[in-house]
């Protein structure tokens, strides 16, 4: 936990510093290399987005090894892009080409790891629904490998690029990956909404035994806005069942984590099987 907190704070400081530096260059362009600094600021912003995606997954203790690999890949990519931004004039074209290819390859790896990590967070009850995620991850991995191959061997594979059927197939796969990335969290949200009134929930319109706080008379009132049958005191009765932040009903929870999103559940918010 301390390591993740330190990482998040360092990311915030780096991003804030880069933003301030970019603002300074825009306002006072005569005091620095404008193109290099603005390019570096944009690079830090992009890296921070990927790092934040990985940090969210790390916080849930999911795909830990993959997320650290993604962070490492994104960091290496950022360093190579910075090298290209600041020292491109001192590089020969062979070195510059190698730096671009290396940076591009590690960028693909970092983005792919972050995407797969985020897609691993939802937990689906139906294997059929979960297959959308599996297909999306599989297609994304294929496109990532295809992209890295093109980065390094574009000239040798120029004849493949010109194949119309292959280009169309890659376009279709890219659309599938994009749609799957958006649809997966939507399907998870639909599942969460379905659980909101799921089986085991207490009926909302029920009688509740209460004692009037003013006249102390015993009575039974339905939930909602009511009045004391004896003194007329207006009473509002609301029932709220223990639920996870994602909306999942924690009825008869068997462990200390939400089966929907994996969040840790405080003991006070759990419904034990025999605690009804």
pLDDT at 7 over 50: yes
Contact 187, 129 (CB under 8 A): yes
- Give the tokens for residue 147: 């992209």
Q: pLDDT band for 244, please (50, 70, 90 cuts).
A: confident
More confident residue, 41 or 84: 84
**Average confidence (pLDDT) over 118-142:** 86
- Give the tokens for residue 149: 């191959």
More confident residue, 173 or 260: 173
| DSSP bridge partners of 218 | 211
Strand, helix or coil for residue 230: coil
**Average confidence (pLDDT) over 26-54:** 75
The pLDDT score that the predictor gives to residue 135 is 94
Contact 251, 258 (CB under 8 A): no
pLDDT at 274 over 50: no
Looking at residue 63, what DSSP letter applies? S
**Average confidence (pLDDT) over 4-12:** 66
Report how many helices (DSSP H) and strands (DSSP E) the chain contains, helices first. Answer: 7, 4
Reported as a single tens digit per residue, the pLDDT across 43-83 is: 887 888 888 888 888 877 788 899 999 999 999 999 999 89
Residues of the chain by 3-state class (helix, strand, coil), percent to 5:
65, 10, 30
Average pLDDT, rounded, for the chain:
80
**Average confidence (pLDDT) over 124-138:** 84
Question: By mean pLDDT, which of 45-49, 130-134, 154-158 is the weakest?
Answer: 154-158
**Dihedral in degrees, nearest 10, Cα atoms 129, 184, 264, 271:** -40
pLDDT at 235 over 50: yes
Backbone torsion region of residue 189, taken as left when φ is above 0, otherwise alpha when ψ lies between -120 and 50, otherwise beta: alpha
Question: By mean pLDDT, which of 76-80, 211-215, 239-243 is the weakest?
Answer: 239-243
| DSSP bridge partners of 219 | 210
Interior angle at CA 112, CA 153 and CA 8, nearest 5: 130
pLDDT at 87 over 60: yes
Contact 85, 40 (CB under 8 A): yes
Of the segments 194-208, 226-240, 243-257, which one has the largest average pLDDT value?
226-240
Domain boundaries of the chain, sorted by first residue: 2-196, 197-201+241-276, 207-236
Half-sphere exposure of 211 (CA within 13 A, CB side): 2
One DSSP character per residue, 145-189 reads HHHHHHHHHTTTTHHHHT-HHHHHHHHHHHHHHHHHHHHHHHHHH
| DSSP bridge partners of 10 | none
The pLDDT score that the predictor gives to residue 266 is 74
The Cα–Cα gap between 100 and 96 comes to 6
- Give the tokens for residue 194: 């379905």
Note the pTM of the prediction, 2 decimals: 0.65
Reported as a single tens digit per residue, the pLDDT across 163-210 is: 677 778 888 999 999 999 999 888 877 766 655 544 445 566 678 899
């Amino acid at each position: 936990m301390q390591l993740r907190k330190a990482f998040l704070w360092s990311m915030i400081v780096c991003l804030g510093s880069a933003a301030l530096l970019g603002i300074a260059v825009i306002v006072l362009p005569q005091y620095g290399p404008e193109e290099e600094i603005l390019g570096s600021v944009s690079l830090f912003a992009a890296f921070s987005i990927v790092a934040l995606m990985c940090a969210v997954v790390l916080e849930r203790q999911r795909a830990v090894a993959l997320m650290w690999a993604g962070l490492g890949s994104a960091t290496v990519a950022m360093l190579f892009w910075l090298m290209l931004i600041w020292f491109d004039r001192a590089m020969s074209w062979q070195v510059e080409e190698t730096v671009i290819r290396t940076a591009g390859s590690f960028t693909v790896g970092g983005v792919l790891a972050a995407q797969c990590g985020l897609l691993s967070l939802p937990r689906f009850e139906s294997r059929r629904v979960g297959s959308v995620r599996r297909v999306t991850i599989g297609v994304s991995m294929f496109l990532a490998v295809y992209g890295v191959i093109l980065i390094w061997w574009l000239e040798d594979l120029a004849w493949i690029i010109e194949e119309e059927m292959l280009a169309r197939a890659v376009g279709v796969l890219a659309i599938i990956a994009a749609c799957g990335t958006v649809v997966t969290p939507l399907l998870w949200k639909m599942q969460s909404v379905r659980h909101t009134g799921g089986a085991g929930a207490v009926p909302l319109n029920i009688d509740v035994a209460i004692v009037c706080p003013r006249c102390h008379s015993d009575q039974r009132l339905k939930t909602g806005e009511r009045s004391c049958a004896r003194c007329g005191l207006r009473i509002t009765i609301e029932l709220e069942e223990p639920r996870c932040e994602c909306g999942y009903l924690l009825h008869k929870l068997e462990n200390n984590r939400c089966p929907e999103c994996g969040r840790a559940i405080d003991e006070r918010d759990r419904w034990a099987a025999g605690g009804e």
